[in-house]
Chain A
């Protein structure tokens, strides 16, 4: 089956830049998603990369290298409200069917 790995926790300072990495097995995924989830709330969609390279959306950017099975989410000008879990996810084959596979999630704490 597919595994998607992320660091468990990260801490950064308000106003700084943080990069959250995601690595996965290279077979089967068409593209990669990033979701943000605040504690006790539902995940919300942040970005989707289907082509290699960097996609920029305001303070958030996401990068994908399909050949390396690697993605990252870059958060600039960190704000306290960015404290949340960040999930990367792929849609790919596992156990004979296609489905969403979520990474382990990274809990980001932004300090004042």
Chain B
């Protein structure tokens, strides 16, 4: 199994809603990532978990809250988002360590109304 599975594929939410994005991998990877990608731009790193501990938070607003319940799962909890948060949210995983290739999920296309 070389897949990273993300759900949902599409999400529309209002600014007062609370929703969660989910990501799962069964490749034994111990590093998991959340990226945000706007149209025609490269992915921007948001969070990195290494061995289930948050190792990097790229000064992301607190309305985005990551969670890594175990080595296979990664969640991103969303609350009180703004329209400018509309983007493609990508989960990725890799073996922990330097220069390991990333395996990306197919992403969640989020629209905030």
Contacts and interface: CB of A to CB of B under 8 A. Distances in A.
A45 B107 CA distance: 15
Nearest to B106: A42
Interface string A19-31: 0000000000011
Interface residues of B, number: 22
B68 to A, nearest CB: 17
B56 interface: yes
Given A40-B109, A105-B41, A99 B102 contact: no
B42 A105 contact: yes
Contacts of A100: 33, 45, 102
A104 interface: yes
Interface in B87-111: 88, 90, 98-107, 109
Contacts of B109: 40
Main secondary structure of the interface of A (DSSP, over half): strand
Contacts of A31: 99
A64 B99 CA distance: 15
A16 B82 CA distance: 44
Contact of B102 (A30, A43, A105, A107): A43
A30 B101 CA distance: 13
B42 A30 contact: no
B74 interface: no
Contacts of A45: 101-103
Given A42-B90, A98-B98, A99-B56, A87 B103 contact: no
Given A45-B103, A99-B45, A105-B42, 14 more contacts: A35-B102, A41-B107, A42-B90, A42-B104, A42-B105, A43-B43, A43-B90, A44-B104, A91-B99, A100-B33, A102-B42, A103-B42, A104-B42, A105-B40
Interface of A: 30-31, 33, 35, 40-45, 48, 50, 85, 87, 91, 97-100, 102-105, 107
15 contacts: A41-B107, A42-B90, A42-B105, A42-B107, A45-B101, A45-B103, A91-B99, A91-B100, A97-B56, A99-B45, A99-B48, A99-B56, A100-B33, A102-B43, A107-B40
